[in-house]
Structure 1
């Protein structure tokens, strides 16, 4: 499989602002962060992470993402953490797109390479280290887990994309398929992070309009995506945010496959009132 990997840097002074990064759009219904916006000067750092930088693509914010945060993380050789996340309610998905790292979960070691996927439930004790000679890059999607009385918290797992079969959507002859990393009927999970793929000519042939909030990062290829009322060209390395009920559709014209990593919130009642403040 192919994965777009950002490399940072900074555009030359002679380049036009309306070039790659000029496709950036932020609206009340959706946002597009093109790959050209991921320069060195917009990276962030995290406490307790050594030799690590990240691009924050989404975070809970009024008028923007409400349910999740999304990072693209670079860990230099020798870097990593023994204390990745101090939020006891945070659940996470990691997808490695470049390099190698060693993930430990509750003391068990899991070597990760490009295509490795890990689910980390709230309260999991985990660490991550890059013991190799090249930079390790991974996506890190976080959500505050919504506990439900009588429903167990799902367990941690690590799998490789190659071992997850793409399930074709009905009546598409495989032109549109989804790799689902958890069972859609398993209501223990309150988020799905899947890989959606289209062969050239594949399409979402109607404007999906539904309650899930979406984050999409294009791993491979290019397509035209319907976002609310706008058809927008996107390519590998671009990130999209869609608020709940934002109409969306897609046409993948080729010449190669079009694939993206998809987040959506699922399997819970919509909140009818704000959460109680912490005491």
Structure 2
């Protein structure tokens, strides 16, 4: 009878061991893929990230938003001219230099909204150059491997069924967690680029406000927001660099589960800090 019970116990342990190894094998593949591609993705210009989407955004901006920006600029220019006339006693005390100043400001504003995309791309050229030059800061490898799992497999056969079942539940939860984290990293990185596309699509409208002192804060804040989005890529690289350094301190050994939980914790921390990069960049540059 004891032999039968031992055989059943060994059979259950072999099933649980196989299930645990199945949960842990390739556990970090999705996260490795997402983290490994971050440097390349954040270092890509909006025009190169998805050229067809960028071409569509540019066409919409030029054909739909630009005329609206022209109306806004016309209103601002007329408002400034009327204000200029009334402030100088209906031109009784009017100086030609003031009119030349108004013409110059209006011409500059027209040039800015006519060349909005060139200006916007110049902003991202600057920020992407910083990101490209900083990609070398990621010291060490961000890839998590499965070394030590074979040692874990041999030690699991020495465990009782109860602790082994608990280990199975942990491995199952870890597997779900890592897949969720890989999705979160994907959403953060690609969500940033979609936000850039949305900002670029409406670019002519805030750029039309630069000619007026009272409304120029709209254009200034818009430009700061663009720089914040650009430098967010730099902060994302900083987060990945810190993640790489932290991973170097984790060694998957005989106590592989605790080591894996440490890696999961660092990956959760990475996701949290990636979420914060946007707000940190905006706070530094004063964008809101």
Q: TM-score range by the shorter chain?
A: under 0.3
Structure with greater Cα Rg: 2
The normalised TM-score by structure 2 is 0.21
Instruction: Please state which structure has a larger fraction of its residues in helix.
Output: 2
The higher-RCO structure (CA 8 Å, 6+ apart) is: 2
The normalised TM-score by structure 1 is 0.22
Instruction: Please state which structure has a larger fraction of its residues in strand.
Output: 1
